[in-house]
Structure 1
Amino acid sequence: MARSTQRPVVKLKSTAGTGVTYVTRKNRLNDPDRLVLRKYDPVAGEHVLFREER
């Protein structure tokens, strides 16, 4: 099975500076810019913004 280039795997890194990362997929057609999601950071103990790394 070939991986689609329309939905690449991206790494999300915490903006709290704790070094926590999440891995997810995104649709390049719907989200051409860097992805920013609010997710739980277990080190900080709260929900923070996670930004896409390249």
Structure 2
Amino acid sequence: MARSTTRPVVTLRSTAGTGFTYVTRKNRLADPDRLVVRKYDPVAGRHVLFREAR
């Protein structure tokens, strides 16, 4: 069984410049724009914005 292309794996990179990343899936049909999520960055020690990296 092949995986659907509707939910690709995306990398979320920290905007704090620490280089820390999260990996998640997103629904391309419901959210075609780049994903921006506020998550915890353990290197910076606080919550920062994570943007989708391609």
Which TM-score band applies after superposition, normalised by the shorter structure?
Answer: over 0.9
Count, aligned residues: 54
Number of the residue aligned with 1:39: 39
Structure 1 residues not aligned, in runs of 5+: none
| 4+ runs deviating over 2 angstroms | none
The question of 1:51 aligning with 2:51 is answered yes
Asked whether 1:28 is paired with 2:28, we answer yes
What is the SS of the residue equivalent to 1:32? coil
Distance 1:20 1:28 in 2: 23
Per-residue displacement from partner, 1:5-39 (whole Å, max 9, x unpaired)? Answer: 00000000000000000000000011100000000
Q: RMSD of aligned C-alpha atoms?
A: 0.5
Matched residues in 2 for 1:39 and 1:51: separation? 10
TM normalised by structure 1 equals: 0.97
- Per the normalisation by structure 2, the TM-score is 0.97
Report how far residue 2 of structure 1 moved.
1.0
